[in-house]
Structure 1
Amino acid sequence: MSTQPEFPMESPLLSDQSRGIRTKARPVASWREHHGWSAAASLRRLMSRPVGTLLTVAVMAIALALPLTFYLLLGNVQKMGEALGQNQTVSVFLQPGQSGSSADLMAKKLRDRADVASVKVKTPDQGMDELAKMQGFSGALHTLDANPLPFVLEVLPRTDVNADGVDRLVADMRGLQGVDQVQDSGTWRQRLEALLGVGERAVLILAGLLAVAVLLVVGNTVRVDIASRSEEIGVLMLVGASRAFVRRPYLYAGIWYGLFAGVLAAGFAVLVELALAEPVAKLGQAYAGKLQIDVLPPWLLASVPVAAAFLGWLGARLVSAWQLRKAA
Structure 2
Amino acid sequence: MKHFRVSIFFTFVCLVVAAYWGYSHGPNAGIEAMLNAVMITAVLAVMEVSLSFDNAVVNASILRTWNHFWKMLFLTVGMIVAVFGMRLVFPIVIVAVTADMSMYDVTQLALNNPTEYSARLMAHHPEISAFGGAFLLLVFLNFFFDEGKETHWFQWLEQKLTHLAGVPAMSVFITLISLLIMSHYVADDIRLAVVMSGIWGIVVYVGVQLLGHLLGGEPEIDASEATESKAGSGLVKAGIGGFLYLEVLDASFSFDGVIGAFAITTDVVIIMLGLAIGAMFVRALTIYFVDKGTLESYIYLEHGAHYAIGALAVIMFMTGAGMHVPEVATGLIGIAFIIWSVIASRRYSRQHSK
- Is TM > 0.5 for Structure 1 vs Structure 2? no
Q: TM-score, normalised by structure 1?
A: 0.26
Between Structure 1 and Structure 2, the one with more helix by share is: 2
Q: TM-score, normalised by structure 2?
A: 0.25
Question: Of Structure 1 and Structure 2, which has the larger fraction of its residues in strand?
Answer: 1
Q: Which has the larger radius of gyration?
A: 1
